[in-house]
Structure formats: C-alpha cells, structure tokens
Chains A and B, each alone.
Chain A
Amino acid sequence: MNALASMTDTHFILPFHTATEADHPRMGGKCASLSRMIALGAPVPSGFAVSTDAYAAHLAADGLEQAILSELCGLNTADVDDAEARSSRIRALVTGRTMPAGVEAAIRSAYREMSPDDDLPVAVRSSATAEDMPNASFAGQQDTYLWIVGADEVVARVRACWASLFTARAIIYREDHSLGQIDVLMSVAVQEMVDARTAGVAMTLDPINGDRTKIVIDASWGLGESVVSGEITPDNFTVEKVMMQIQKRKIAEKDHETVADTVARRTVERVIEPERRSLPSLSDDEVIAVAQLARQLEKSSGTPQDVEWAIDRQGRLMALQARPETVWSQKKAAPGVFTMGIEGVLGTLLAPLQHKN
C-alpha cells in the first residue's frame, strides 16, 4: 500500500494480519476474532475488514441516515407486516446508494491487493460490533455471501451486509430494547474462500455435559455451511483434550455437501456419491490437528471456544472463526465440597467406588 493510499484508506480498511487490538472495536466481533487468531499464529485465510468507519461514512453520505430514520418514524413493533415493509424499503435504500467514493476505492484497492487479476473468490460476511450481539442467536441474522469474485461483486455484497442490519427482526429487536436504530455499527469481513474438502466446527468442551476435558468435532464433506446450519448429520469425533486421544468416532451417512461451483462462481449443494457418504470426512491425524487448533485457540483466549474450521483440497487446515462458547462457560459450577488429607482418604474408602472405565 502506498503512502497516499494508507492516508485515505486506513480508516475504512483494516487488514486482518495488521490490525491491532486498538482497531478491534471498528472491526466487529468476527473480524476481530480472525485478526486475533492470526496474531496467535493460527492458520487463517487472508482478508480484511471493511470497518465501521466505512459504514458510518455510507450512512452519512447524501442524507441516507435521515432517510432511514424517517422510514422508521412511527414504527409499531407489534405490526410485523408493517415492519417487514419498512425493512425492505430501508434495505433498498442502503443497497441502492452508491458508496462514498473513498470507501469504494478503498475496498477495491484492498481486494486488488489480494487478487491482482480480480478473480479470487472471497466470502463477504457481516461482522457485527459486540454491542449488537446480546446473544448468540441474534448474530446469525446477518448475512454471509460465499464465493464472491471480482471487486464489483465485493462492493455490492458489502452494501448487502450493511443492509442486513435492517431486517424486520433486527429493527424490532432494537426498538424493543431501546437501542438506537442507527447507533449500531457494522463491519464487513472480506476473506479468501477456502475450497473446503472437509469442514465443520470444533468445541473445546462437550456440549452435552460441559466436560472441559473434551474437544468435540463435527465434520462433513465440503464447505462448513451444511454443518453449521444443521442440514445434515455430520461425523462426530470426541477427543480427550490433554492427552489428544480420539475417544469416540461416529461416522454419519452424509448425503449432500455444499461445494464451490468455480465456473458459476457460487456455492452449490450436491448429492454425495454413495461410496463417499459413509467414509470418515477426517482422518485420525486430521481430527487431532483440528483438536490441536481448537485447543490452541482456547488456551490463548482463556475460555472455551467454538471454532469453525476447514481443510482445503490441498489438505491445509484453516480456522475460519472462533468465538467463546456461551452455554456451559456461563454456568457457575456448583461449589465443590472437598475433604482433604486423611478425611479425603477416608471418604474415598467409604464411598462405594464406581468401576473405572
């Protein structure tokens, strides 16, 4: 990046590999997590955040903010049909306006750095700021666009992500919780697509019982979308975290997968050929590699993690996303009553021992 570009671009674009902790508030949770993972040495596909400054600049240009606010004037959250109508008008406003020239130029320039030939497939995802994510389920409302190719498409999808802040559900939620409708800012992640052979999620505890000695991995063929969305039953592996031993393997019958259609430049869902359906989507070595990646992220963040990962067709493992596990981590363990020393030994001798396995 030349000096002039950096002066003009720096607020709008924050590359994952150079962003610092100070930049994180302007990158949204997802981008900040990617940036942190890179700083920790985890393999992460390259990319950049279109910062909240870029979104703010878009809102500020040509009275867009006022136009949105007037569309929301007199909103009655009980009237869902009305909210839907308002939502689609606002989203048309957000996607219909051209971006401020500096913002668009910055996005194009950042994409060109990744893809001089304008042909690198990327994922464009919204990366909400933390204040906008009161709970995990709300985060899922914002959009993700996969296999986007070319700067024009990237720019269009960035706008579409911004617009996703104004779904009817999001509008109603903010209204009901007295959050300002345009105080919530959004960043957008633009990240190199991984042509995943196998992908999935890894949790650094057992989601069934909160057992922190386990890493539980769901994996299936193709991109991770089918696993994350719960469309298919994935392969399921349980790894003992400290010893890094695979303790359980449940290999599922996986009937379809989401893969890249590199010609049509999109993802497609396709039926998996019968002979591959019941094969494990991860080798034992790969299970351990995924578990080690998840463990590394858990250790450095200090809390249990929920990691999305993928293995590309060259066999390279990448972390796509990591966020704190939210269910068990927030449960306070029942205060333990521990007897120590000889009292402890006595208790052990007196309590009928369950058989060990």
Chain B
Amino acid sequence: MTVKTGFPSAYDLTAPAGAEDWRDLYPYYLLFQDNRRAEEDGKFWFCDSQHWPNPFKPFDAVTVEYAVKCLGQYNTRHYLVPPANGVDFRIHNGYVYMSPVGVAPENIASRVPHFMERAGHYFANWQDLLDRWMVKVKHNIAEMEALTFEDLPEVVPLDWVKDGLGIDNTVPLSETYDKAIQLLYRTWNYHFEFLNLGYAAYLDFFGFLKSQFPTIPDQSIAMMVQGVDSDLFRPDDELKKLAKLAVKLDVAQNLSADSVDRVLAAMDGTEAGRAWVAAWQAAQDPWFNFTSGNGFYSDDKYWIEHLDIPMGYIRDYAARVAAGDEIDRPTARIAAERDRITAEYRDLLDAEAQVAFDGKLGLARTVFPYVENHNFYIEHWSMSVFWRKMRELSAVLHRAGFWENADDMFYLDRNEVRDAIFDLGMGWGVGAAATGPTYWPAEIGRRKAILTALQSTPPQPALNTPPEVITEPFTIMLWGITTDAVKKWLSGDGDGTRLEGMAASPGVVEGKARVIRSANDLGQIEDGEILVTPVTAPSWAPVFGKIKATVTDIGGMMSHAAIVCREYGLPAVTGTGTASSSIKTGQMLRVNGTTGEVTILSAA
C-alpha cells in the first residue's frame, strides 16, 4: 500500500456524472474560482461532513455561510484571538471544505492586549452576559415566531386604503422575508458569542491535563467537564415524563393508536386522558422545537411539525416503563463517576498543580454548559422556527404556481427567493402573469437532478497538502481533526475489518450494525443494534435508549455523538472516517469505545 502525502486539488476533482453544472446552485463567493487557483491550492482544506454530511440545497447554503462567517468574526473582529482568525470555507461538489486562517506571527503580539480586555471581560462576567444572551435569543425567536407569510389577496384591503397606508401586500411580504433572513443572521451571530471562548477555556484545561498526564484519555477530560444536565436533554426527558405519566394515569393503551390524531381522540374520552393531553401540549413549546437532524438542512424534521416522531418515542418509552424498565438517564451514576474521576486525577497531582487544576476545571465547568446548551436554543429552537417560517413562504409561492411541491423553494438560494417574491409581486401588481411559474419548475427539476447526482459520491476528506502538524486550536477542538486523523485518511485501511477512530465514550460491546444515513431512517433501528452513521445529532436521543453503541465517520471528543453517548453510558467511536460506507447493516461488530477500535466480526 502506498501512503499518499496529500489530497487532490479541488480544481482536479470532477463532478459526478449528471452533476456537471453543480456550480449553478451556490453563490459565486462560496466556489473555488479558477482565477484564484494558485492561492486556493496553497491551502489545506478539510471537509466538514460533521455539520454538513450530505450535499445541500441552494437555500440551505445560508446555514453554511452564516454559521462559518459568524464563527470567524468572533476570533477576528470581536475578541482578536491572537493567533487565530476565522475559518475560510468553500463549497465543492456539494460539500463544505474549511481552511482555518492564521494570524501573521508579527501581528500576534499586538492583538494580545485587545484579547485580554475583550475576552477577559467575557470570562469575568460570564454568567451575567449569558443571562443577557438568553434574553436576546428568546427575543429573537419570538420575533421570528411572530412573522407571517400570507397569500396575496385579490385586492389591497379596504382599511389599508382608507387608512392611507400607501403600500400594497407585497411590501410586508418582501419585508417579512428580509426580516426572517436578518433574524437568522442574528441567530448565528449569537451562536458564536460564547462558543469560541467556551472551547478555548475547555482547551486550556485539556492542555493542562495533557501536560501533567501526557497519556490521559481525552474522554477522561471530557467526563470531568461535561455537565450531567443540559437543556439539550430536556426534550427527551419530556418524552420520558409523558411516557411515565401515561402509565401512571393508566392511559398508555391509547398510545398504540396508529396516528397522533387517533391517540389524542382516544385520550379525549377520559378525564385522565385529557390530563395527559394537557401535559403533552404543555411540553411542546419550546421542547418539541427539536430536530432529529442537526438544524442545518431545510428538510430536517422538527418534532413540533411531525408529532408522530415524539409520539412514537413516547409509545416505546411507555412500553418499557410498563415492562418495568428504568428509562431515565443514569444521571446520579454519571455524576458520581464524574466526581470520582475528578477526585482521582486531582489526587495524582502535587499541591501546586492541584491549585491550577481547581482553577482551570472551575473555568471549564463555568463555560462548558454553554457549549452544550446553546445547541438547543440555536440549532433546535431558533432553526425550528426559521425553517417553519420559510416553509410557510414556500407554500405561498407554491400556491401561486411557482413550483410543484410545497417545499421546492429550498432549491433556490436565498437571493433568488427575494427575486421570486418580487416576480410574484410584479405579476400581481401589474396584473399580468409572473414569470416564476413558467421558469422555476423546470429549473428546480434540473437542480434536483444535480443534487441527486452529487449525493451519489461521498466527499474527499480533505484537499491539497496537509500541514506537517495540525496546531490550529479550533480545528482540533471543534472538528477533532488532528495530525493523526489526517494521516489515517491518507493511509486508508488495511483489510477493511478494522477501523480506528476517537475513543469517545468508554466501554466494549458486540452487536449487529445498523447503518443509518439519514434521520428519516431512524425508525429502522432495532433494540440492541449498534448505530453506524456519518454523524449523529443529539436529538437522536430517544434511539440511544435502544442501541448498544455508536460509530460515526466524523466528530471529536466534543461531537454530539460523543456527548450523548457519555451521557447515556454507551460506548462510542467517533471520527472513523469511513464506518458508514465500509460497514453494512447486519454485520456483527465489536465496538471498543475505550481504545477507539471497531472490528467487523462477521458478514451480514
């Protein structure tokens, strides 16, 4: 086997058959442009399939550009992180590639005092600023929730005329769209306000422990810092509460009806049933603003719009409760284990280092809840509302004949949507036919074919020549991309029966593989299987009660799969690179979350 020293250039990677025109789908500034080749090929780019595992529709690129741009601005412009600017990003063949931007060595020192003042203020006032963050984010969500998109009426309302408003209905339509996009932009600004600093403080504790105990497992450090309770687990906890309530009220038999409506109708027949329905409704806002995807895709399904998903989980939980199973997360055990681990490592340090340990752990534990909690407020709650509003708009244009399916708007990019709204309004105002209905259906059909073709080919893990050693802190922390990981990508695998990844959550189990490529397939998982997937989202929590272990292609110690598995006490190996393509459903696996090894024991 020859070991490669680098990855291909984007400029040499051809599109899959049928996707030759994929560049039409995304804005010019997200593409590798021919006249920048020398510059772009001089950088190392890694594929972020952790957040964007599949090629995305043109509109969904808004999550890439807002998220990664806002990540960068905090390093570059808010806190002036001395050695690190943001992360540059491009789209190629439908996948996102990232390249961290360093600060020229001669400019690092002058940024230090600014960083100390700006970031120092955040560390010194963390809780106060975080309280303000919560107010801002909830306000932002409320503003999004208040947006409405309505069909254009036949005529401008009479009271608008009589009140002398002087505008027509296309004005609020286009303004509301713009407002939604602005609120989304704010959402992603807020997302990174604390995140980079939170990771940096965690990294400081991490680096300290590695300096004291060079071979300490990464997961030991994560377990010391990780919170036992996070808002991220609240939605799943709500389902468990509802399941237990159904059993307690003796109405669980109603859950087996074959639709949510029928369940609710059956519940409506008794006092106890109505009490259950009241609890079911109370839990939904905000906790059902929760997706089994990761919030970055317009087709991520949110529970609040797909009540059959949480209802199905409640039914499963209720059956387990009735069978006498303990369904609650073992929080007491996890907390006790966290305390034990913390005390034992601390004991191994000398007195001076113990003082440092206490201080750094204290800071890490102060900042870390944000790292976990923000996910609920942004990716789940905020994005739930945003996507729901965009679907409302798409439906308006769909009813106006712009496209065939209610959700086809997402095949337009965000600026094209603005154009389409004007097109609609122009036809409506002029009293002539809009162009959209004759233009978009064919164009959307063409784009769908391109996306299907893009999806047929997995991404390159990286582009161009990697640096000898990966030292960029955010690359390591957020994406789990280390020098070793890159070497493994380059060397490929031996006989294909053994995969290595990050030992993300301890334990060893054997079981049958279930390869899941999309959240929509989660229903296929059977009890006792091992989940193998490109990447998980924390909202897959209910399936974590069924599975024995998790194996992912991408993700580090702080990836969602790692956090959830540690929370549930399940072994996990993350960042294997290729598990979901090299493992087949039905194969027997041994997953060693302690060493990071996955062994394929037998054929399907």
Contact = CB atoms under 8 A, between A and B. Distances in A.
Interface of A: 211-214, 240-243, 245, 247, 333, 335-336, 338, 340-357
B484 interface: yes
A335 B410 CA distance: 60
Contacts of A333: 350, 353
A243 B224 CA distance: 12
Nearest to A351: B207
B210 A356 contact: yes
Contact of B123 (A214, A338, A342, A355): A342
B119 A247 contact: no
A241 B353 CA distance: 19
B506 interface: yes
Contact of B216 (A213, A348, A349): A213
A355 B82 contact: no
B112 A346 contact: yes
Main secondary structure of the interface of B (DSSP, over half): helix
A242 B341 contact: yes
B215 A211 contact: yes
A53 B204 CA distance: 58
Interface string B476-510: 10000011100000000000000000000010000
Contacts of A348: 200, 203-204, 207, 473
Contact of B200 (A241, A336, A345, A355): A345
B35 to A, nearest CB: 33
Contact of A243 (B82, B120, B214, B220): B220
A165 to B, nearest CB: 38
B421 to A, nearest CB: 44
B159 interface: no
B192 to A, nearest CB: 16
Contact of A356 (B112, B116, B218, B350): B218
Contact of A336 (B115, B210, B356, B359): B356
A336 B359 CA distance: 14
B83 interface: yes
Contacts of A242: 220, 341, 344-345, 348
Interface in B49-84: 81-84
A245 B217 contact: yes
A344 B341 contact: no
A352 B471 contact: yes
Interface in B340-359: 341, 344-345, 348, 350, 352-353, 355-356, 359
Given A335-B352, A355-B476, A340 B360 contact: yes
Contacts of A335: 352
A344 B344 CA distance: 23
9 contacts: A240-B215, A242-B220, A243-B341, A245-B217, A344-B359, A349-B82, A349-B203, A355-B470, A356-B218
**A-B CB proximity, top 5 nearest:** A338-B356, A355-B482, A355-B483, A352-B471, A348-B204
A344 B208 contact: yes
Contacts of A240: 215-217, 220
Q: How large is the interface on B (under 10, 10 to 19, 20 to 34, 35 or more residues)?
A: 35 or more
Contacts of B434: none
Contacts of A243: 217, 219-220, 341, 506, 594
Interface of B: 81-84, 108, 112, 115-116, 119-120, 123-124, 197, 200-201, 203-204, 206-208, 210, 213-220, 341, 344-345, 348, 350, 352-353, 355-356, 359-360, 363, 469-471, 473, 476, 482-484, 506, 594-595
A243 B222 CA distance: 13
A353 B506 contact: no
Contact of B83 (A241, A350, A357): A350
Contacts of B200: 345, 348-349
Contacts of A344: 204, 208, 359-360, 363
B213 A213 contact: yes
Given A338-B208, A348-B204, A352-B469, 5 more contacts: A245-B594, A333-B353, A343-B116, A344-B204, A355-B482
Contacts of B476: 353, 355-356
Contacts of A245: 217, 506, 594-595
A351 B207 CA distance: 10
Nearest to B112: A346
A71 B182 CA distance: 102
Contacts of B218: 356
B359 A341 contact: yes
A213 B484 CA distance: 23
B62 to A, nearest CB: 30
B356 A340 contact: yes
Nearest to A242: B344
Nearest to B120: A342
Contacts of A356: 206, 210, 218, 476, 482
A243 B341 CA distance: 7
A294 to B, nearest CB: 14
Given A213-B345, A243-B341, A357 B482 contact: yes
B207 A353 contact: yes
A224 B482 CA distance: 42
Contacts of B206: 356
